[in-house]
Copies of this chain bind each other. A is one copy, B any other.
Amino acid sequence: MGEVITVERQILRKNDEIAAENRELFRKNRIFVFNLLSSPGSGKTSLLEKTLEKLHNTYRIAVVEGDVQTDLDAQRIARFDVPVIQIVTKGGCHLEASLIQNALGNFTLNELDALIIENVGNLVCPSNYDLGEELKVVVVSTTEGDDKPLKYPNMFRVADVMVINKTDLLPYVEFDIAAVRKNALSINPNLTIFEVSCRTAEGLDPWVNWLDGKIKSEKAD
Protein backbone atom coordinates (compact mmCIF):
# COMPACT_ATOMS: atom_id res chain seq x y z
CA MET A 1 0.00 0.00 0.00
CA GLY A 2 3.01 2.32 0.42
CA GLU A 3 3.15 3.34 -3.20
CA VAL A 4 -0.53 4.09 -3.33
CA ILE A 5 -0.35 6.35 -0.31
CA THR A 6 2.57 8.19 -1.90
CA VAL A 7 0.59 8.76 -5.08
CA GLU A 8 -2.39 9.94 -3.03
CA ARG A 9 -0.18 12.37 -1.11
CA GLN A 10 1.18 13.75 -4.37
CA ILE A 11 -2.37 14.21 -5.65
CA LEU A 12 -3.37 16.01 -2.46
CA ARG A 13 -0.29 18.26 -2.55
CA LYS A 14 -0.98 19.21 -6.17
CA ASN A 15 -4.64 19.75 -5.26
CA ASP A 16 -3.67 22.06 -2.40
CA GLU A 17 -1.50 24.14 -4.76
CA ILE A 18 -4.37 24.67 -7.20
CA ALA A 19 -6.75 25.33 -4.30
CA ALA A 20 -4.40 28.12 -3.15
CA GLU A 21 -4.55 29.62 -6.66
CA ASN A 22 -8.35 29.47 -6.59
CA ARG A 23 -8.39 31.08 -3.14
CA GLU A 24 -6.18 33.93 -4.35
CA LEU A 25 -8.50 34.46 -7.31
CA PHE A 26 -11.56 34.57 -5.06
CA ARG A 27 -9.82 37.02 -2.71
CA LYS A 28 -8.79 39.34 -5.52
CA ASN A 29 -12.33 39.39 -6.89
CA ARG A 30 -13.85 39.61 -3.39
CA ILE A 31 -16.04 36.55 -3.93
CA PHE A 32 -17.34 34.72 -0.88
CA VAL A 33 -17.13 30.99 -1.64
CA PHE A 34 -18.49 28.05 0.27
CA ASN A 35 -18.46 24.31 -0.35
CA LEU A 36 -21.66 22.41 0.42
CA LEU A 37 -21.10 18.82 1.57
CA SER A 38 -23.25 15.90 2.75
CA SER A 39 -24.20 12.32 2.07
CA PRO A 40 -26.55 11.73 -0.86
CA GLY A 41 -30.06 12.97 -0.16
CA SER A 42 -29.45 15.16 2.89
CA GLY A 43 -30.81 18.15 1.05
CA LYS A 44 -27.81 20.11 -0.29
CA THR A 45 -29.65 21.09 -3.47
CA SER A 46 -32.82 21.99 -1.54
CA LEU A 47 -30.80 24.19 0.82
CA LEU A 48 -29.15 25.79 -2.20
CA GLU A 49 -32.54 26.47 -3.80
CA LYS A 50 -33.92 28.05 -0.61
CA THR A 51 -30.75 30.12 -0.21
CA LEU A 52 -30.91 31.37 -3.82
CA GLU A 53 -34.62 32.21 -3.43
CA LYS A 54 -33.72 34.56 -0.60
CA LEU A 55 -30.44 36.02 -1.88
CA HIS A 56 -30.28 35.94 -5.67
CA ASN A 57 -32.05 39.29 -6.05
CA THR A 58 -29.59 40.97 -3.67
CA TYR A 59 -26.30 39.42 -4.70
CA ARG A 60 -24.75 38.08 -7.86
CA ILE A 61 -24.30 34.40 -7.01
CA ALA A 62 -22.89 31.65 -9.21
CA VAL A 63 -23.17 27.91 -8.60
CA VAL A 64 -20.95 24.94 -9.42
CA GLU A 65 -22.75 21.60 -9.20
CA GLY A 66 -20.76 18.42 -8.69
CA ASP A 67 -22.32 15.04 -9.41
CA VAL A 68 -21.11 11.56 -10.23
CA GLN A 69 -23.57 11.46 -13.10
CA THR A 70 -26.43 13.57 -14.60
CA ASP A 71 -27.05 17.32 -14.61
CA LEU A 72 -30.31 17.00 -12.65
CA ASP A 73 -29.08 19.38 -9.96
CA ALA A 74 -27.93 22.03 -12.44
CA GLN A 75 -31.37 21.82 -14.04
CA ARG A 76 -32.97 22.49 -10.65
CA ILE A 77 -30.72 25.52 -10.13
CA ALA A 78 -31.08 26.84 -13.70
CA ARG A 79 -34.61 28.11 -12.99
CA PHE A 80 -33.02 30.81 -10.83
CA ASP A 81 -31.41 33.61 -12.73
CA VAL A 82 -27.88 32.55 -11.76
CA PRO A 83 -24.95 31.21 -13.77
CA VAL A 84 -24.52 27.50 -13.04
CA ILE A 85 -21.91 24.98 -14.21
CA GLN A 86 -22.39 21.24 -13.81
CA ILE A 87 -19.29 19.11 -13.22
CA VAL A 88 -19.92 15.41 -13.83
CA THR A 89 -17.17 13.35 -12.21
CA LYS A 90 -18.14 10.12 -14.04
CA GLY A 91 -17.57 7.92 -11.02
CA GLY A 92 -15.27 10.20 -9.03
CA CYS A 93 -16.42 10.58 -5.42
CA HIS A 94 -15.35 14.20 -4.89
CA LEU A 95 -14.59 17.49 -6.63
CA GLU A 96 -10.98 18.62 -6.96
CA ALA A 97 -9.49 22.11 -7.08
CA SER A 98 -8.51 21.70 -10.74
CA LEU A 99 -12.13 20.97 -11.72
CA ILE A 100 -13.19 24.17 -9.98
CA GLN A 101 -10.35 26.09 -11.65
CA ASN A 102 -11.55 24.91 -15.06
CA ALA A 103 -15.16 25.77 -14.23
CA LEU A 104 -14.22 29.31 -13.17
CA GLY A 105 -13.41 30.20 -16.79
CA ASN A 106 -17.14 30.13 -17.47
CA PHE A 107 -17.86 32.99 -15.06
CA THR A 108 -17.04 36.70 -15.14
CA LEU A 109 -15.40 36.69 -11.73
CA ASN A 110 -15.33 40.41 -11.01
CA GLU A 111 -19.10 40.52 -11.47
CA LEU A 112 -19.74 37.94 -8.75
CA ASP A 113 -20.42 38.41 -5.02
CA ALA A 114 -20.58 34.76 -4.08
CA LEU A 115 -19.94 31.28 -5.43
CA ILE A 116 -21.60 28.20 -4.01
CA ILE A 117 -20.04 24.82 -4.78
CA GLU A 118 -22.27 21.79 -4.26
CA ASN A 119 -19.95 18.81 -3.89
CA VAL A 120 -20.64 15.17 -4.79
CA GLY A 121 -22.89 13.49 -2.21
CA ASN A 122 -20.36 11.74 -0.03
CA LEU A 123 -19.38 12.04 3.65
CA VAL A 124 -15.87 10.63 3.17
CA CYS A 125 -13.89 11.52 0.05
CA PRO A 126 -14.59 15.26 -0.41
CA SER A 127 -13.30 16.04 3.09
CA ASN A 128 -9.68 15.70 1.92
CA TYR A 129 -9.93 18.05 -1.06
CA ASP A 130 -9.55 21.77 -0.49
CA LEU A 131 -11.17 23.64 -3.39
CA GLY A 132 -10.03 27.12 -2.37
CA GLU A 133 -13.34 27.86 -0.64
CA GLU A 134 -13.59 30.08 2.43
CA LEU A 135 -15.92 27.76 4.32
CA LYS A 136 -17.11 24.17 4.27
CA VAL A 137 -20.77 23.65 5.16
CA VAL A 138 -21.83 20.10 5.99
CA VAL A 139 -25.52 19.21 5.86
CA VAL A 140 -26.93 16.38 7.98
CA SER A 141 -30.58 15.45 7.94
CA THR A 142 -32.74 14.23 10.79
CA THR A 143 -33.42 10.97 8.96
CA GLU A 144 -29.76 9.90 8.95
CA GLY A 145 -29.15 9.21 12.63
CA ASP A 146 -27.53 11.46 15.21
CA ASP A 147 -24.34 9.35 15.28
CA LYS A 148 -23.10 10.58 11.88
CA PRO A 149 -20.47 13.04 13.21
CA LEU A 150 -18.85 10.21 15.19
CA LYS A 151 -18.91 7.80 12.26
CA TYR A 152 -17.57 10.28 9.68
CA PRO A 153 -15.40 12.48 11.92
CA ASN A 154 -13.05 13.91 9.30
CA MET A 155 -15.88 15.64 7.46
CA PHE A 156 -17.05 17.32 10.67
CA ARG A 157 -13.46 18.15 11.65
CA VAL A 158 -12.81 20.11 8.43
CA ALA A 159 -16.28 21.73 8.33
CA ASP A 160 -16.94 25.25 9.58
CA VAL A 161 -20.71 25.00 9.63
CA MET A 162 -23.21 22.17 10.22
CA VAL A 163 -26.74 22.61 8.92
CA ILE A 164 -29.22 20.15 10.41
CA ASN A 165 -31.91 19.77 7.73
CA LYS A 166 -35.38 18.16 7.66
CA THR A 167 -36.37 19.30 11.16
CA ASP A 168 -40.00 18.95 9.97
CA LEU A 169 -39.50 15.16 10.13
CA LEU A 170 -38.40 15.16 13.80
CA PRO A 171 -41.79 13.87 15.04
CA TYR A 172 -41.49 10.81 12.79
CA VAL A 173 -37.87 9.73 13.27
CA GLU A 174 -35.63 8.77 16.13
CA PHE A 175 -33.14 11.61 16.03
CA ASP A 176 -31.92 13.60 19.00
CA ILE A 177 -30.94 17.16 18.06
CA ALA A 178 -29.06 17.61 21.34
CA ALA A 179 -27.11 14.40 20.65
CA VAL A 180 -26.09 15.35 17.11
CA ARG A 181 -24.97 18.76 18.37
CA LYS A 182 -22.96 17.19 21.19
CA ASN A 183 -21.44 14.57 18.86
CA ALA A 184 -20.48 17.18 16.26
CA LEU A 185 -19.03 19.60 18.81
CA SER A 186 -17.00 16.78 20.40
CA ILE A 187 -15.26 16.40 17.01
CA ASN A 188 -15.08 20.12 16.25
CA PRO A 189 -15.89 22.64 19.01
CA ASN A 190 -15.77 25.55 16.53
CA LEU A 191 -18.72 24.44 14.40
CA THR A 192 -21.44 26.99 13.74
CA ILE A 193 -24.75 25.10 13.77
CA PHE A 194 -28.11 25.86 12.13
CA GLU A 195 -31.37 23.90 12.30
CA VAL A 196 -33.58 24.20 9.22
CA SER A 197 -36.38 22.60 7.30
CA CYS A 198 -36.04 23.31 3.59
CA ARG A 199 -39.55 21.91 3.19
CA THR A 200 -41.35 24.27 5.60
CA ALA A 201 -38.71 27.07 5.51
CA GLU A 202 -38.49 26.93 9.32
CA GLY A 203 -35.10 28.11 10.56
CA LEU A 204 -33.88 29.37 7.19
CA ASP A 205 -33.71 33.04 8.21
CA PRO A 206 -30.81 32.71 10.69
CA TRP A 207 -28.84 30.75 8.08
CA VAL A 208 -29.54 33.27 5.31
CA ASN A 209 -28.79 36.25 7.58
CA TRP A 210 -25.51 34.67 8.58
CA LEU A 211 -24.59 34.12 4.91
CA ASP A 212 -25.62 37.66 4.09
CA GLY A 213 -23.18 38.91 6.72
CA LYS A 214 -20.39 36.76 5.28
CA ILE A 215 -20.93 38.05 1.75
CA LYS A 216 -21.02 41.66 3.00
CA SER A 217 -17.83 41.30 5.00
CA GLU A 218 -16.03 39.76 1.99
CA LYS A 219 -16.97 42.87 0.00
CA ALA A 220 -15.85 45.19 2.84
CA ASP A 221 -12.47 43.52 3.37
Contact = CB atoms under 8 A, between A and B. Distances in A.
Contacts of A125: 93, 122, 124-125
Contacts of A40: 39, 123, 144-145, 148, 151-152
Contacts of A7: 3-4, 7
Given A7-B7, A40-B151, A143 B169 contact: yes
Contacts of A41: 39, 42, 141, 143-145, 148
A150 B69 contact: yes
Contacts of A145: 40-41
18 contacts: A4-B7, A39-B39, A40-B144, A40-B145, A40-B151, A67-B151, A68-B124, A68-B151, A69-B152, A91-B154, A93-B122, A93-B124, A121-B151, A124-B125, A125-B125, A141-B143, A169-B169, A169-B173
Contacts of A11: 4
Contacts of A150: 69-70, 72
Interface residues of A, number: 40
Contacts of A123: 39-40, 121-122
A84 interface: no
A172 interface: yes
Nearest to A127: B91
A109 B215 CA distance: 60
Contacts of A141: 41, 143
A136 interface: no
